[in-house]
Each structure stands twice: as structure tokens, then as C-alpha cells.
Amino acid sequence: MAAPGFQFVTAAYMIRINNQRANTLNELRTGLSQASDGSVFYHTFQSLGRHHFLTEGFSNDFAQWVLTGLNRPQLAERVGGLDIRDYLSLAELRNDLYRVVGEYCDSHPREADMSAFEPFYFCESSEITSPIGPPVTTLGEFVQILEGLSHASLDYHFLISRLRLQLKTNDFSAWLENSMGRQDLARKINRIDIYTNTLDTARDQMIRMIDIGAKQ
Amino acid sequence: MTATEPEVAGSPLSLDQYIPLLGAEIEELKALAKPLAGREVRMVNSTRVGGGVAEILNRVVPLLEELGMRPGWEVIAGDKDFFEVTKAFHNALHGAPVQLPPNAFDIFRSYNEFNRSRIRLDSEFVVIHDPQPAGLIDGRADKSGHWVWRCHIDLSKPSEEVWNFLEPWVARYDASIFSSPAFARQLPIPQYLFYPSIDPLSDKNRPLDPVYVRSVVERFGIDPERPILTQISRFDRLKDPVGVVRAYRIVKRYFDCQLVLAGGSADDDPEGAEVLKETKQEAGDDPDIHLLELPAASPLEVNALQTASTVVIQKSLREGFGLTVAEALWKKRPVVASAVGGIPVQVIHKQTGLLAHSVEGTAYQIRYLLSHPEIAARLGEQGHAHVREQFLITGNVKRYITLFLLMLNS
């Protein structure tokens, strides 16, 4: 029986502005405990994709606001240092965000109530997806589509999928490992540093890895 | 060398013409839109020419049609008294101190009532743009269709008097759209985030022949060999053209630069002539300050001026979004802009441009960029990438498609 093919999908997101906002670190801490899962997702996973072309600064919105809105680089580094690849659920990620911000508030009580230059606005998003073409079944077909894939689709399969499937991997690696029996390639692609690469440079690395892997 | 006038884009552009710029995104957009084929959407705003909203609708409407929807675009009618009221509303909602014209609320109500009788409002999706036609919701029959209020202006510090007048209408829509989270209000309806957008293929944004660019600059008496600082905006107090002249004077102490303030007028902006006069007074007889009154249909000239600029300025005091910033970033120009309204969404400080909060700060950031052209170039490149991801017309169409799909599914 032929291995299941890979179905490329494109995704679109509608961003909803919630009524919740934070003006201080303490309010951020409270907000983190009350925000919807969709909001935590939006400000961590999705912010990485939104700003993929910037390889400097912090890739999650909370860290960026702590730096630019509150000028607290030490805390910003800790919040930005939480790697979404380490999490299987938003609850775990939220707990760690809450813990890191909470520890800082407890140890810096005066700073915790200082007003930011601008508030942090909690948002969340809703997703619509649509398949692109028929499933691909060979590495050659896979690379051919991957080469021209939009950032939206690349983001969906490489970054967003980690949470959707509650996997410590991504759609591409999961298919390579489970359907194509290429654990080596799956592992290498999963190790591409999504924080210091743009989506384009990550894609280039994937294609190079598959090209080299196919010859082995 | 001769400068040939580039052909003005005549026939509407098709989606496929965006493929060289955006690749697979176009096919993906078509795939997303398939479930909306044949469904009717009606856009309503207050002017067909001039201003960012009209520019966006001029492109969004044909693109929605190409994606299989049945879009329509209606412009509300009004006399001078109505547009004086809506201009005052606009400024008041932006937070500027404003004396409302006598009977302002009655005039607003009566023109909305008049327009309800002349505009078809029975489409499956109705999108009302900005406060001017907000009262058309009274024409909705029995909760029919999906009604969306699209607010393009900064409502973070509105006049309570005007907002309290408008809010009962707004609260009756099914959803609202704002250009930045900071603009959203506490409303009982969902509030969505839509960035406004520019069309990369329009005459205002497509790449131009350098020979033509130089010819435009020279035609306006600007020296292409010396640094050019440019602000493209209507002559409007909220765009602070006088503040731009003051910032330029500080920069001029250090750099032999020129200032271009270029703007047109919109049908719904009776204040422009007065502000232009104030700006001329501030500029005095400095030959390096060029105040250009451009007709509404001058996209190639605007494009050329932005392309030729060493630094593009947007020193707004209040701003809905400031599409001229996205236009400059798309052309890889370094931008110095005020941290107001939707501008910080476009200008991520030190990543895609530089933000300022005052005349002095604006002048300092311009001087910094003139001193460090390599940093200016990096900001321009990253600004271009940012616009590609977030602020192109195709992305705007995608957001409408996504919203309509979500409303259908809800």
C-alpha cells in the first residue's frame, strides 16, 4: 500500500481585538492568567510567523512589549527565551509565561506597577484553511511545491502545526518520518532554528537537506 | 536622456498580474475564496476620489469581483453642510478640539436618512466605511445580511460628545474593523484588526524608470543631487505640515537638504486651503522648501517623489493609519514618522524605520539617517518585507474573504 501523501494547505487568520489590555507588568500577569488560549497562541506562535523576516528582536509579542513598552530588557530576554518548540499545549506555555512574569513582579514590586509607554492589547485569531492541489507522494513532488509555497502555508505547516497536532515536531517532519520513513530528514528539518531564520531561509535549508538526503 | 511619461494603468489589473510579486499567494487566495462565489457584498463610503479609503476600495472591489463575489460600491451623497459636519466629526473622533457646526447632529441624521433612501442595502454582506455613513444601519431590514462597520480612524481618544452620538449605531452592527488594536473601543460586538493596504501594481507604487523619476523631480524645481526630505499628505493640521517645516529647519543646520511637502485635496476636506496658507507662511521664502499642490490624480508624480526621496517623513499628530508610510516602505525608503495611530504598526522602531514624538525628535532621526546611509538602506529593505507581509492590497482582500467566511460559518 502506498504511503499517505502530504496535503499542502493554505491558511488565513482573522485577528480579533479583545477588550483586555495591560498597562503594567502586574496587569500583564493578570492578563496572562485570564487571556484565552487563542490569545496566548496569537501572541507567541503567530507573532513568530508575522515577523519572520526580522531576525533581531523578540519573536513573541509579550517580550517585545516588555522591551519597547516597559524598557525591561532582562525580563524581555527571559520571556523571549521561552521556545515554542518546547511546548505541547498552550496551557504549559501560558503557565511558563505567567511564572516568568510573576517572578519578576514579585522581585521588582515597584517596577511591576510602572505604566508602559503604550498598553499591551490582547488579541486572538480565528483560522480558515483550504487545501492546495492534490496530495504529493514523492520527495520530488514535495520539494517542487515547497519551493513555491507562500509564507502563509509555510507558516501553517512549519510553525503553527506544532501546536495544532500537539506534536514536538512540524507537519513536514511528521510526514517525512511517518509516511516516508525518513527519520534522518525529519529530525534535521525539525532542528532548523525558527527564531534566527526567516521563513525563506528556513525553506532554503529544508530543500537543501532534502536534496542531500535524497542522494544518500 | 529623455523622460518618457509612463503609461497610466488603464484597464483594471487582474489577480494574475500579482503572481510575479507574490507567487503562490494568489492561487491560495483563489482557493480560499471559492465558497464565496456569487455572494453579494456592498461597500459604502463618503468619497470616490482622494484619501486612503477610496484608494483601497478602488482596488478591493474589482479584486473581490475577480474572486467570484458580486461586489458593489456606493458613495453617500451630501452637500457642503454635511461634509463640514463629518470633517468636524472626523477631527473630534481623532481627539482634536473641535467646535461642532450648529445643528451638527441633525444635519448628520438627515443626510444619513436621505442616503438610506437612495442606496441599496440588501446585500448579503454590507461594509460601511467610517462614521459618515454609519447611520445607514437604520436601513437594515430585520437583521438581514451581515453588517460590518469598518473604522479607518484613530478612536483611542475620541470626543465623548461625538462618540456617544455615533456609538448606538455602531453597536448594532454584527462586527467592527479597526486598523490597530489601540483604536478599538469597548463595544458589545466583535472588533477585528484589518490593516489598510497599498496596491504594489498601482501607478503610485509600481517601479518607475529612474529617468522619469528624475524628470519629475526636476520639473518641480527640486535638485536631485542633494538630499530630499518628503512628506506626502493632504494639507491637514493633523498631518502637521508646519511641524515638518520646523523639523526641516533643524536638519538644515547640518545637511544641505531640501523639503518637499506634497499633497492633494479630497472632496470631503474643506480645510485644506487654510492649512496650506499656514504652511506657506511658515516656509517663508526658503527656495529649498517645495510646497506642491497635486491634483488628486497624480499617482505617478507621488510615486516619483517618494522614489526620489532620501528620507520620507510622516509627522502626523493623529493618524488613522497613514498609508503613505506603507507606500514609502514598499519603495524601500527609510521613514521617520510619528508614533501615533497606526504608524507604529508599520514602523517598528529601529527595525523598519524610526519613530519620533516631537519636532526635535523628528529632526534628530532624519539627521541620524542622513549620517548613516547603510542603516537607512537596511531599514528600507526590512520595511519592504514588512509591507509585503502585512500591508498589500491582496492581504486586505484576503482579510475580507476570511471575515466573510467566518461570518457565514458562525
Chain A residues with CB under 8 Å of B184 CB are 17, 19, 121
In a domain, B8, yes or no: no
**So what's the pLDDT on residue A96?**
96
C-alpha cell at A119: 498598553
Q: Which tens digit of pLDDT belongs to each residue from B196-225?
A: 899 999 999 999 999 999 999 999 999 999
Establish if B35 belongs to a structural domain: yes
CB-based contact B255:B227 (threshold 8 Å):
yes
- The pLDDT, as a whole number, for residue A205 is 96
> In this model, does residue B93 exceed pLDDT 70?
yes
CA B311 to chain centre: 19
- Residue A34 at interface with chain B, using a CB cutoff of 8 Å: no
Beta carbons of A12 and B401 less than 8 Å apart: yes
| Beta-ladder partners of B228 | B258
Nearest-angstrom CA–CA distance, B115 and B96: 28
Q: Which cell numbers hold the place of A40? A: 496566548
Q: What is the DSSP letter of A124?
A: E
Cβ contact, residue pair B32, A53, below 8 Å: no
With CB atoms and an 8 Å threshold, state whether A152 touches B351.
no
Interchain proximity B31–A10, CB inside 8 Å? yes
Cell numbers at A108, concatenated: 521588582
> Which residue does chain B place closest to A57, by CA atoms?
B351
Which chain A residues in 172-211 lie under 8 Å from chain B, judged by CB atoms?
none
Average pLDDT over residues B335-342: 91
- Report CA torsion sign: B60, B65, B69, B72: positive
B374 and B353 within one domain:
yes
pLDDT of residue B219: 97
Per the structure, the count of domains in chain B is 2
Cell numbers of B14, please?
487582474
**CB interface of B with A, residues 9-28, below 8 Å:** 22-25, 27-28
Across B222-233, average pLDDT: 97
B31: chain A residues, CB-CB within 8 Å: 10, 130-132
Which helix (H) or strand (E) covers residue A27, if one does? Answer: helix A25-34
* pLDDT, position B267: 54
Clarify whether residues B147 and B226 are in a common domain: no
What does the buried/exposed string (b/e) look like for A21-56 if buried means 16 or more CB atoms within 10 Å of the residue's CB?
bbbbbbbbbbbbeebbebbbbbbbbbbbbbbbbbee
Q: Is residue B301 located within the same domain as residue B290?
A: yes
> Is B256 found in the same domain as B134?
no
Q: CA–CA separation, B137 vs B189, rounded Å?
A: 14
Put simply, the answer to whether A126 touches B406 (Cβ < 8 Å) is: yes
pLDDT above 70: percentage of residues in chain B = 96
Q: What is the mean pLDDT of residues B248-258?
A: 98
At residue B9, the pLDDT reads 53
pLDDT (0 to 100) of residue B52: 76
Percent of chain B scoring above 90 in pLDDT:
77
Q: Among B307, B308, B273, which Cα is nearest to B291's?
A: B273
DSSP secondary structure letter of residue B13: P
Instruction: Tell me the shortest Cα–Cα distance from B259 to chain A, in angstroms.
Output: 31
Q: Which residues of A touch B348 (CB under 8 A)?
A: 51, 54, 57
Cell of A154: 509555510
Where does the pLDDT of residue B1 fall: very low under 50, low under 70, confident under 90, or very high at 90 and above? very low
Asked whether the beta carbons of B37 and B69 are under 8 A apart, the reply is yes
Q: Do residue B25 and residue A150 have CB atoms under 8 angstroms apart?
A: yes
DSSP character at residue A70: T
B72 and B192 in a single domain? The answer is yes
Q: Does A153 touch chain B (CB under 8 A)?
A: yes
Interface confidence (ipTM) of the complex: 0.88
Nearest to B382 among A12, A54, A128 (CB): A54
A54 vs B184: CB contact, 8 Å cut-off?
no
The range of the structural domain enclosing residue B293 comes to 210-390
Closest CA relative to residue B322, chosen from B234, B199, B396, B212: B234
In this structure, the answer to whether residues B379 and B264 fall within a common structural domain is yes
Measured between alpha carbons, how far is B187 from B191 in angstroms, rounded to an integer? 8
- Strand ranges of the sheet holding B40-45, from the earlier edge strand across to the other edge: A120-131, A9-22, B191-193, B175-178, B146-150, B125-129, B40-45, B70-75
First to last CA, chain A: 24
Q: Any idea where the domains of chain A sit in the sequence?
A: 12-125, 132-215
- In Å, what is the CA distance from B194 to each residue of A47, A160, B7, B356, B406? 16, 21, 32, 24, 14
Co-location of B238 and B379 in the same domain? yes
Task: Report CA-CA distances (Å) from A193 to A199, B51, B221.
Answer: 10, 43, 51
The answer for B 319-338 residues in CB contact with A (under 8 A) is none
The verdict on B277 touching A (C-beta cutoff 8 Å) is: no
Closest CA to B73 of B52, B47, B50, B51: B47
Confidence of residue B372 (pLDDT cuts 50, 70, 90): very high
3-class secondary-structure state, position B270: coil
B323-330 vs B373-390: helix crossing angle, rounded to 10: 110
A128 and chain B in contact, CB less than 8 A = yes
Regarding whether B214 and B193 lie in a shared domain, the answer is no
Q: Is B182 on the interface with A (CB under 8 A)?
A: yes
CB pairs under 8 A between A and B: 81
Q: Which residues of A touch B181 (CB under 8 A)?
A: 17, 21, 121, 123
Chain B hits for A54, CB-CB cut-off 8 Å, are 348, 351, 382
User: Helix, strand, or coil here: A128?
Assistant: strand
Q: Which one of B177, B346, B402 makes the best mutation probe of the A interface by having the most chain A beta carbons within 10 Å?
A: B402
Tell whether the torsion through CA atoms of B85, B91, B93 and B95 is positive or negative. Answer: negative
Is B351's CB within 8 Å of A56's CB? yes
Give Cα separations from B126 to B42, B43, B137, B394 (angstroms): 5, 6, 9, 20
Whether B335 and B401 map to the same domain: the answer is no
- Give the C-alpha distances (Å, rounded to integers) separating B112 from A55, B121, B162: 49, 13, 16
Report which secondary-structure segment, H or E, holds A18: strand A9-22
Interchain contact A47–B (C-beta under 8 A): no
Nearest to A121 among B23, B182, B192 (CB): B182
DSSP string spanning B69-104? -EEEEEE----HHHHHHHHHHHHHHTT----PPTTH
Same domain, B191 and B331: no
Q: Is B405 on the interface with A (CB under 8 A)?
A: yes
In a shared domain, residues B80 and B113: yes
| Amino acid letter, residue B142 | D
Q: Given 3-state DSSP classes, what are the helix, strand and coil percentages for chain B, each rounded to the nearest 5? A: 45, 15, 40
Q: Is residue B320 part of a domain?
A: yes
- With bands split at pLDDT 50, 70 and 90, how would you rate the model's confidence at A122? very high
- Could you tell me how many residues make up chain A? 216
Q: Give, in order, the Cα–Cα distances in Å from B286 to each of B82, B257, B258, B291, B322.
A: 38, 12, 10, 11, 27
With H, G, I as helix, E, B as strand and everything else as coil, classify residue A205: helix
The whole-angstrom distance between A120's CA and the closest CA on chain B is: 9
CA distance B167 to chain A (A): 16
How far A161 CA sits from the closest chain B CA (Å)? 18
Whether B10 has a pLDDT exceeding 60, the answer reads no
- Classify B166 as helix, strand or coil: helix
Q: Which residue of A has its CA nearest to B408?
A: A128
Asked if A130's CB is within 8 angstroms of B32's CB, the reply is yes
Cross-chain residue pair B390–A121, CB shorter than 8 Å:
no
Q: What is the CATH number of the domain that holds B163?
A: 3.40.50.2000
Q: Do A13 and B402 touch (CB under 8 A)?
A: yes
Q: Which residues of B touch A126 (CB under 8 A)?
A: 402, 406
Note whether B181 and B232 are same-domain residues. no
- The Cα–Cα gap between B324 and B306 comes to 9
Note the residue count of chain B.
410
* Residues B146-160, mean pLDDT to the nearest whole number: 93
Locate the chain B residue with the closest alpha carbon to A200. Answer: B385
Distance CA B292, CA B199 (A): 23
pLDDT at B2: 45
> Average pLDDT over chain B, rounded to whole?
92
B17 part of a folded domain: no
Report the pLDDT value the prediction gives residue B89, as an integer from 0 to 100: 95
Task: Kindly report, residue by residue over A124-167, the tens digit of the pLDDT.
Answer: 999 999 999 899 999 999 999 999 999 999 999 998 888 776 76
Q: How far apart are CA A104 and CA B280, in angstroms?
A: 53
Give B177-229 as a DSSP string.
EESSGGG----SS-EEE----B-TTSTTTS---HHHHHHHHHHTT--TTS-EE
Tell me the three cell numbers of residue B139.
Answer: 436601513
Within a domain: B187: yes
